[in-house]
Amino acid sequence: MEKISAQTSETRIIGIHGMGGIGKTTIAKIIYNRLSNNFEDCCFLSNIREMSERKGIECLQNQLISDILKDKCIDIRNIDDGIKTIKDRLSNKRVLLLLDDVHEKNHIDALVGGRDWFGRGSKLLITTRNKEVLDVFEVDNHYELTGMDRSQSLQLFSKHAFRRDSPLDEYIDQSNRVIDIAKGLPLALEVIGSLLSRTEKRKWNDILEKLENVPHTEVQRKLKISYDALEVRHKHIFLDIACLFIGCDKDVMVHFWEKSKFFPKEALIVLQNMSLIKIEENNSVWMHDQLRDLGREIVRQESNTKIQEQSRVWDPKEGLDLLRKHKVMMNLKVLDMSNCSLLERLPDSIGSLESLIELDISKTSIKELPDSIGNLKKLKVVKMRESRLSKIPDVLWSMGNLEHIMASSGVYGFRERHFHVQIGNGICGSQSLRILILESADIYPLPRLPESLINLQMSILHMGTFPDLSNLTNLEKMDLEFGWPHHDVISNGLGEHPMPRWLGNLSKLEFLALCSHHGTTSPTDLALPPQLKSLRLECPNLRHLPRLPSSLSYLKLDGCKSLCSMEDLSNLKKLSSLRILSAAIAEIQGLGCLENLRDLYLHSLRQVKILPDLSNLNKLTSLRVEYCDKLVEIQGQLPRFLDFFHVDDCGSLQKLPDLSSLMGKQALFLYNCKKINVEAILDVARLNPRHFKFVDFEQLQILPDLSNSNELIRLQVQQCDNLVEIQGELPQSLEVLEIDSCKSLWKLPNLSSLTGLREVSIGYCDNLVEIPGELPQSLKKLRIFYCGSLQKLPCLSSLIRLQAVRIQNCDNLVEIQGELPQFLEVLEIHSCKSLQKLPNLSSSMGLREVRICFCNDLVEIQGELPQSLEKLVISSCVSLRKLPYLSSLIGLQEVCVLNCGNLVEIPSELPQSLEKLEIYSCRSLQKLPNLLSSMGLQEVHIRYCNDLVEIPSELPQSLEKLVISSCESLQKLPNLSSLIRLREFSIHNCDQLVEIPGELPQSLEVLDIYA
């Protein structure tokens, strides 16, 4: 958490790598969830490796853009289109982004190609099994998960096997055997523990002997022992999830299995208890990718790896091949053809798939379905997302087992207003249809829908009035979004319409979401079902909110800009989350009586002047109040267990509530509340929070002694323009100090006594001249940026724990004194224009990465580089004429030399370990070093080297990619025919080059030549 620094104004990228099942996703999700309250724009892209293979990178780009812009009407045509859209539309967005299970560099390139793709202060988390992905992307910090230690393993196993933190006395020997078997792998500990918890003790030894006979590296074989212990119906559901339903809504899946007599609710509980699946907070089904791969391999083995005999086909390419080559597939139950963009029609023979239960033709070019689809008597689910169908055929509605239709147009938004999808009146006669999801569809008129529906989700364009759905008395969930474009409302005189009264008659409805530009109410208009649990309204013309049912546990009002009155909320005793964003209400009556409220978020309530006393809300843990311009006071005390208190841009707020009763005090954040006096801020500091942050307080000139705040771990002071000095001492407990954009600050306290300080970040402090005294030996990270008056740094040589030093845009910094510490891993110096000399790097025996960029006066890098170095980047050092010798650096994998216009030569020998060489815009460079010695070299990129005449005559056979661009003097290339691994060869704008000698190798996949 400390590394990603949610509240800093810099963009941070954190990578987590390790083997499958080690807990990467779990840790990343914990961090993501804790940070998400600090971001308006968040996106979690899960299972990127699988999703990119099945649905394409474009699908992930589409999700990223849609989640951040809150706009479902996004249509990405290809990867380049997605890249352009992300860069153009998200570059001003401060985002929180989690990329889970990234496998290849192209995933990174297409989704988060550069830090400047997102707004300043964005935070990116990346999990991967492939460490090279993180190295290529240049993350700020990366962490390898290597498994749990013995104590942690025993505790995790005991939680699942015994429902306690330690084993029962009579099970200690067996528990230790499990710890030896699992080797610290959390997934194995959970699954084995859950299996044994359901097994009689007399059978434990038999199971453990089976597990001990499986090699540690064969994780799937260990996991299969748990699968083998399942009942047949539980195995069936496990395989369905592994092959097809990961990420799907649990309730939707329950309906899918119910008629098969699989008792799915009970089965899902069994699979959860066995730690084979988890149900996420959003009700979706989650399965670890190791278990997913196990399930899919079982399906393959059941059919003797004959695809035509498989019961489930999840790969669209395999599905398309099946349809073309095999007429009879008697066992096929699920066919997923999604993302086969060239597929224009289904063959008539599809009607012979008599066992087929689910068909997915999403993102194909199919325009109509064959009549033979009516022969699929067992078909339950049809998915047609982003399809080109203009009509859903009536034959579907007569199918007796069809339960679930999911469809959306392939044209989004209002760009093609006349796109029309037809749904015939026959739908009303369907007696089996339970779930109907229609997204971004232009359906008019909407036919009468069948009473059998329990889940209805519709996003319909060009519909100005509420459809009549009063007959759908079995509905449990309804999500409606509809309306005309704003310009049509004006030009066609389409006005407001009252909320329908029939909503109150839907006696089974528990979840209701309405988004309409035309819905409005008077105090007597809207009635809601008495058992409603969740209500979300986005209705800009809604003026009044009536009394709400007492069963409600979640309420979100978002963008109800005309809402000026709402009934008293004091009857909502079960409400746990209340979010009101952008409304015109002046008060929230009954707010102080919501005894089960845990989360309160108020945003842009520009008429609210006073918030009532919240001290009775004993379960409230998170309170966020933002952009409430007229808010003057939060009355009374805050509830004692509040952990997170965040006030942002409440410019009229003069008085904070009484904070003295707080017991949680984990995080207290104050932003841009200009009328709060300094004493109030100091009162907050005296509460002794663990994390204290205040931003944009112009009246603050001196921060007083905080030495008595002995629980303070993180202190952040930002944009306090008039802050001159931090007086006295900082508390011994402090671990992270961040000072950002305090332009008048000229003096820091002495930090040498802070024996727990791990990270210091100081930026945009224009008048800071020095950092006094020594830095503490506990320091691990030092970052100083945009401190234009800073002339020298403290000596770093004694900081034995220091891992990373980053110095950026310190224009007057002339020298970094002394040697660097022995265990330093990363050195980055960027835009220090006066720096003439680097410290000797040879003593830093753990140094892995060096980046020197935009240091205009740097003439040379003195001495030797340490043998531990893995990556060297030198960029825009215009006075640099030569590099140090590199041949002895046995671990060096990547060298990038960019925009060094006076660099004449690169030492003639490169190390054998080198994998990538990139030279860009070195206009004085006349020749390249000998590349043949680098026997592992995979990529060479040479661009804009105007004086370069030739490429070395021999290249290593390991080379996979060669890119040469805009080398105006280049006259000769080597013969490439011996490069048996070369996959990509690109040569652009080399005007003097006459020929490419010899033959090109047969391994070549990409040839790109243009002038």
CA 103 to each of CA 16, 108, 133, 673, 955: distance values in angstroms, whole numbers, following the listed order:
12, 9, 7, 44, 28
CB–CB of 442/463 below 8 Å? Answer: no
Q: 718, 641, 633, 709: which is closest to 676 by C-alpha?
A: 633
As a dihedral over the C-alpha atoms of residue 252, residue 257, residue 258, residue 259, rounded to 10 degrees, the angle is 130
The CA distance from 925 to 989, in Å, is 18
Same structural domain, 835 and 929: no
Same structural domain, 19 and 104: yes
CB–CB of 131/17 below 8 Å? Answer: yes
The CA distance from 267 to 240, in Å, is 12
Same structural domain, 811 and 870: yes
Same structural domain, 659 and 594: yes
pLDDT at residue 486, as a whole number: 43
Q: Which of 79, 113, 144 is the last residue of a domain?
A: 144
CATH number for the domain harbouring residue 177? 1.10.8
Name beta bridge partners: 123.
12, 96
The CA distance from 402 to 382, in Å, is 8
Same structural domain, 887 and 955: yes
Same structural domain, 947 and 989: yes
Q: Which of 676, 709, 737 is the last residue of a domain?
A: 676
Q: Which residues contact 314 (CB under 8 A, 6 or more apart)?
A: 54, 243, 244, 296, 334, 336
Per DSSP, the chain holds a count of helices (H) and strands (E) of: 18, 48
Tokens of 438: 């229609």
pLDDT at residue 5, as a whole number: 55
Reported as a single tens digit per residue, the pLDDT across 390-401 is 778 888 888 888
Same structural domain, 182 and 93: no
- Classify residue 443: in a domain, yes or no: no
In this structure, the number of other CB atoms found within 10 A of the CB of residue 108 comes to: 22
The model's pTM is 0.61
Q: 409, 399, 515: which is closest to 452 by C-alpha?
A: 399
CATH number for the domain harbouring residue 49? 3.40.50.300
* CA 661 to centroid of chain Cα atoms: 36
CA contacts within 13 A on the Cβ side of 609: 0
- Classify residue 433: in a domain, yes or no: no
Beta strand extents in 696-812 (DSSP E only): 702-703, 714-718, 725-726, 736-740, 759-763, 781-785, 804-808
- Classify residue 831: in a domain, yes or no: yes
- Classify residue 688: in a domain, yes or no: no
CA 467 to each of CA 194, 448, 462, 500: distance values in angstroms, whole numbers, following the listed order:
49, 9, 12, 9
Tokens of 840: 């000797």
Tokens of 81: 């289109």
Q: 99, 8, 123: which is closest to 46 by C-alpha?
A: 99
Same structural domain, 95 and 18: yes
- Classify residue 623: in a domain, yes or no: yes
- Classify residue 546: in a domain, yes or no: no
The radius of gyration of the chain's CA atoms, rounded to the nearest angstrom, is 32
Q: Which of 276, 302, 328 is the last residue of a domain?
A: 302
Tokens of 540: 């800009």
Same structural domain, 107 and 22: yes
Name beta bridge partners: 669.
646, 693
- Classify residue 550: in a domain, yes or no: no
The CA distance from 132 to 128, in Å, is 9
Same structural domain, 901 and 976: yes
Domain that holds residue 192: 150-228
Reported as a single tens digit per residue, the pLDDT across 497-545 is 677 788 888 999 999 998 876 555 544 456 789 899 999 998 888 888 8
Which of left, alpha, beta for 113 (phi over 0: left; psi -120 to 50: alpha)? Answer: alpha
Amino acid at 233: R
Q: 521, 519, 463, 513: which is closest to 488 by C-alpha?
A: 463
Same structural domain, 809 and 855: yes
Which parts of the chain sit beneath pLDDT 70?
1-9, 71-75, 77, 135-138, 214-219, 259, 316, 320, 323-329, 409-421, 441-444, 461-465, 483-497, 517-526, 663-666, 678-687, 1011
- For the chain, the domain total comes to 6
pLDDT at residue 488, as a whole number: 45
- Classify residue 719: in a domain, yes or no: no
Tokens of 713: 């771990």
CB–CB of 935/958 below 8 Å? Answer: yes
Q: Which residues contact 88 (CB under 8 A, 6 or more apart)?
A: none
pLDDT at residue 685, as a whole number: 64
Same structural domain, 853 and 806: yes
